[in-house]
Structure 1
């Protein structure tokens, strides 16, 4: 599924750059690491990290995940939206971040409140590319419920094919994949942190 320039700009506009910038500065200070050290450990350039901390740029999902692993924080901490008593996120809305090498977008639906350790995402993916994920922090488990389409999901080399209504849970501290096998594949992904 090829996105038009307008669609790419729409996805890019939804990335909450100021929230990401504030969170990166806060978490880097909490970890007591320099800009150079975080960039080195995450495998990103110092200028990229500097731009992100200034609220500029268009970070990929891979860059943000690498920074989260380096800073030892859940991904949701970068996108944490305000928590009203009742929260509705309509299809196509929410803080979405796109992957660089595949037609894959993650939209944060609910961040883990203090004391709880889970984050909920809506996944929108198209066929043609595989979203290969590096291992997350030790003990992280992913739960996926497929809403539409078809997908191969799970630990690399052991992924299972899901159809609408199917659910899978797997250790996400191992390399894992999400490969859409049909257009308009959508899923709910829950990250469970130890």
Structure 2
């Protein structure tokens, strides 16, 4: 008979496995091949009908390109984390700045930032984060002004209200070609793109 702790793990891990699998656009069969765990077993785990052993959970995590602690959310602290406006981490120089809006959490798979660019300024300068991990995607929304996205040798002009999605593991930066300040929101999802 399952213990209360095993039932909690089964209840919480199953929906998470399903959500991560679907976010990676994997079928049960795909994840079974990647993890070495049978598709019927994965289906039972996802529905919360069985609690995986640590070995099986580790194999599922590896198939999802996660550490076991990430799959089980052992390295996260609670389900809600708030950053107040005055507590945001600020980066960038005198020509522009960015704010990391949510707090950095271990195992976090997405980052939200707000960039404010003075005329002629661009992202990718001193204090900006390095290129994103392989498979990352970025979605950006221009809040005000005009920005030009340079990605993998191509340029794309974006105006207020325009949005864009692109492979964030390619060389890229945004620049403000205008005479007024420009602002954009960007969300980077880590390692979810599949070639």
- How would you bin the TM-score normalised by the shorter chain? 0.3 to 0.5
Q: Normalising by the residue count of structure 1, what TM-score does the alignment of the two structures yield?
A: 0.48
Q: Normalising by the residue count of structure 2, what TM-score does the alignment of the two structures yield?
A: 0.47
Query: Which structure's CA Rg is the greater one?
Result: 2
